[in-house]
Structure formats: structure tokens, C-alpha cells
Amino acid sequence: MANRSEYWNPKNETLTRDELRALQHYKLKHLCEWAYAKSAFHRRRWDAAAFHPDLLRTLDDIERIPFMTRAEWMDAQAEAPPFGPLLAVPPDLAVRYHTTSGTTGRTPLRVLDGMKDWEWIAEMWAYGLWGFGLRPGDIVLFAFSYGTFIGFWGAHYACEKIGCLVLSTGSATTESRVKSIIDMGVTTVCSTPTYALRMWQAAAEMGIDLARDSQVNKVIVSGEPAGSIPAVKRQLEAAWGAKVGDTAGMTEIGTIMIFECSHQPGGTHIIEDNFIEETLEHASDRRVPYGERAERVVTSFGRGFIPLIRYRTNDLVVKVPHATCACGRTGDIYEGGIQGRWDDMKLVRGTNVYPRAVESIVRECAAVDEFQILLTREGVVDEISVLIELKPGRADHWTALCERLQVDLADAHEGLRFKVSQAQPNSLPRFELKAKRLVDTRPVAEYSA
């Protein structure tokens, strides 16, 4: 029967909080029993910490489970390459192999999925895509490389499941993607926020106004925190003449765990029937109340091959109650999506600087094309500069823009003085995936304290 609901899973997305907790407890117990029986990695760690799945008498007993970290995962992978003792299923039953994108230059994290895992991965994306308004008949273009990085792979399968026509543009140039969007009557585009801006710029250079000339009414972004930055979203929505919806996932999970619904509440719902998202003080085990900055710690119920239980993500989030959104979903919300990484935070002359906060301010200026944050040390003093590339034809905006940015950046950072300077056109790096706009050239060792 056709789904006429605004929810992909009308039952689970509207459970009461008590029902949700009961479901989470039930699933947690089964997941832990599975992991203990099947994964040498988990069994070893839990035995050492005197944890056993029988101890999970209530949902709050989740606090008895030791945290899992990326470092442990990487060590385990190195101990017995290629996958380490994490696997809970023999590798010959896998149907997919993926990795992290490797932007940090380290060995990537490697994951395997079985048929059931892969089905679940698509299912989670379906919650998000349907929730933002995707329906059968939509024509969806993926501006995505289709490499080993897991990225939008699951979203592609979710579109097929919903009944959309999918255009996979793996190795296409930006110009040919723009051409496909027009020629094929594409209604939905999936990309990173940065690349959605790139496509719009390329289209403008081709004499195409995407807001006027395309059928696109939804742009679904992932892969960077910028999708929930109001100024970025406003620019993208104006540029495309479409609604922009944020999502976020992780290779460790294989899919998304949060998505923005079509009511656009300024944040992303957590898919709580499939994940437990604890919000704790960074690098501690103290629970953080609604509305405060926290590190998200995730337990995922969907991937049988690699059970992910109390995994410290290092993601910076602010959780608010589900009732913040009027859509009726009972999954709580991360206000502003994933707000960044805890290790992205920089200390400059005693002041905390978050790249996302700087981006929020810089993107308020419509004349900015690209930018970079530069941290340097001059003598013994740290300096923070923002290099700005203006959009073509906006040079006369410079003086006013520069003054405004200096004031706004200082105001948002306890008076910290930012140098704002202009970069030559096309001199700053452009990104298609996971933009990295902060360059820190300061010696590292002195900051270990």
C-alpha cells in the first residue's frame, strides 16, 4: 500500500518517549548479546571492564558499558588487517566494502556490510529523504564520486526504494552535472553544501540561473556542518530556488542518524528507534542537559557486521526536545545539526574559536565567494586571519565588508582581533568533499597542555 504519511515509518517515528525508551532497551540488550557472542573485540574489552549484557536491566544501565573509540578501532584494525577482530560475521558473507574518506591522511577505517546491513542503511536514509519530502516521481541527481567513501551510497539505494529516478554522476564534471540537472528535469540534488554552491557558481558562468531555469525544489546536503548554518542555508536556498535539508551520518554507522524534516526546525531529528544518541560532556561520562554543548556518543542498532556501541564521536552537538519541531516526530533534535568537531576548536590568545562559528559570520556577507581561516604565530603571539575571496564584480563591497567582519568576528569572540584580508580571485582552495577551511601553521607541541 502506498505510504501517504509524512513519515517514512509512521509508527516508530511517533512513539511516545516511554515507548521509545522501552524499544531502545530491548534492542540494546539484543545488540550487546550479539556483540558479546560474536565479536572478539567487544568481548575482550567488556571482560576487562567487568561488563556483561546481563547487567542491562534498564536503559540507564547503558552507562555500565565501556566507551568505544576510533583509536581502539584503528588499533584493532592494525592488529589483524584488514578488519581486525571487530567483525561479528564471517567476512565472506559481506556484500559491501567501504572506507572513511581519509581526509586526515591516516589509514582509513574499513567497514563491511552484509545484505541485511545494507538494507538497513538504505532504510535510515529513507527516513530522512522521505521526511524532507522526497516522493516517488522525484528525479534525484547525486553529485557524488561513488568511490569507496560511503557518503551518499545509502541514499542512492533509499531513492530506489522510495521509487525515484536516480541519476548517478560519479565522474562527471560540474558543468555536465549542471547540464543534466536542466536536461533531465532533476527535482532533487544531493551533495555537500560546499559543492552545492560550486554547482550554482558553475551554472551562473554557463549563463544558467538554477533558481529560474531548473526544476529543483529540494537540495539535500550532507558531509559538512555547514548544512545547518543559517547563512549558508539561506544562500543555497536563494541560489537554487529550493528548500535545503541537512543530514549527517558516519562511515562507522554506514548511514545517517539525523535528518532535517520538511518543517525545517533549524536542526535535525535523531532516528531514535534505530540509535541511542547520548550527549555527554566532551571526553567525560557526565550527562549534559538539553540546550548545552555536548559530545555525541552513539549506539547503532543496524549494523550486524560491526556492532557500534557507545562510540565516542567527538562531534559537537546541542540536543533540544523533539517538541521544538511541530512535525509530530518524537525523536529529539540536534539544534543546528552537527556543529563541528571537538578537536576543531582552536585556542587563540585564550579565546576558543570554532571554525563553524567563524563560517556562520563570514557567510552572512553575500559577496563572499570563498574564505580561509589562517592561524599563525608571530614571535610569541598567535594571530588569526580570515582571507576572503569576493564574488566576481563585488570588489566595491570590500571596504564595508572588511569593517563589518572585523567588528562581527571580534564581537563573537570576546573581543579577539581578527585580521581580515582580501585574497586574489580563485586563489583559495575549492572543495567537493569535506571542506577544510582552517589552516593552523602554529607549532603544535606548545599547545599540548
Query: Using CB under 5 A, which residues numbered 150 to 209 contact Zn ion?
Result: none
Of the candidate spans 101-109, 257-265, 272-280, 338-346, the one that interacts with Zn ion by CB under 5 A turns out to be 257-265
Sign of the CA dihedral running 160, 97, 115, 43:
negative
Peptide bond into 392 cis (omega under 30): no
By CB under 5 A, name the one of 197, 239, 309, 327 that touches Zn ion.
Answer: 327
Read off φ and ψ for residue 364, nearest 5 degrees. -65, -20
- Indicate the residue among 131 and 340 with the shorter CB distance to Zn ion: 131
Of the candidate spans 170-178, 227-235, 258-266, 419-427, the one that interacts with Zn ion by CB under 5 A turns out to be 258-266
Per CB under 5 A, does 261 bind Zn ion? yes
Shortest distance, CB of residue 112 to Zn ion, whole angstroms? 33
Per CB under 5 A, does 271 bind Zn ion? no
Shortest distance, CB of residue 12 to Zn ion, whole angstroms? 14
Shortest distance, CB of residue 327 to Zn ion, whole angstroms? 3
C-alpha cell at 355: 571554525
CA distance 150 to 91: 18
Q: Name the residue among 434, 411, 254 with its Cα closest to residue 341.
A: 434
Per CB under 5 A, does 325 bind Zn ion? yes
CA distance 269 to 262: 11
Shortest distance, CB of residue 326 to Zn ion, whole angstroms? 7
Of the candidate spans 27-35, 43-51, 298-306, 325-333, the one that interacts with Zn ion by CB under 5 A turns out to be 325-333
Per CB under 5 A, does 28 bind Zn ion? no
| Three-class DSSP labels, 116-147 | HHHHHHHHHHHHHHHHCCCCCCCEEEECCCCC
Q: How many CB atoms lie within 10 A of CB 131?
A: 26
Binding string, 275-314, against Zn ion, x = CB under 5 A?
----------------------------------------
- Parallel, antiparallel, or unpaired: how do β-strands 293-300 and 275-280 relate? antiparallel
- Indicate the residue among 333 and 353 with the shorter CB distance to Zn ion: 333
Shortest distance, CB of residue 331 to Zn ion, whole angstroms? 8
- Indicate the residue among 65 and 320 with the shorter CB distance to Zn ion: 320
Per CB under 5 A, does 270 bind Zn ion? no
Of the candidate spans 108-116, 210-218, 221-229, 255-263, the one that interacts with Zn ion by CB under 5 A turns out to be 255-263
Read off φ and ψ for residue 150, nearest 5 degrees. -70, -35
Q: DSSP 3-state assignment of 218? A: strand
Q: Quick check: 141 and 324 in contact, CB under 8 A? A: no
Binding string, 100-139, against Zn ion, x = CB under 5 A?
----------------------------------------
By CB under 5 A, name the one of 29, 38, 234, 263 that touches Zn ion.
Answer: 263
Query: What ranges in 276-374 are assigned the alpha helix state H?
Result: 355-362
CA distance 407 to 35: 53
Shortest distance, CB of residue 152 to Zn ion, whole angstroms? 22
| Burial class of residue 410, CB neighbours in 10 A (0-12, 13-18, 19+) | middle
Of the candidate spans 1-9, 256-264, 297-305, 375-383, the one that interacts with Zn ion by CB under 5 A turns out to be 256-264
Helices (H) and strands (E) in the chain, counts: 11, 20
Of the candidate spans 152-160, 194-202, 259-267, 370-378, the one that interacts with Zn ion by CB under 5 A turns out to be 259-267
- Indicate the residue among 325 and 386 with the shorter CB distance to Zn ion: 325
Closest residue to Zn ion, judged by C-beta, is 327
**Site size with Zn ion, rule: CB under 5 A:** 5
Q: Name the residue among 160, 166, 167, 94 with its Cα closest to residue 125.
A: 160
Strands (E), 133-183: 139-142, 165-168
- Indicate the residue among 203 and 327 with the shorter CB distance to Zn ion: 327
Shortest distance, CB of residue 356 to Zn ion, whole angstroms? 22
Q: Which residues bind Zn ion (CB under 5 A)?
A: 261, 263, 325, 327, 329
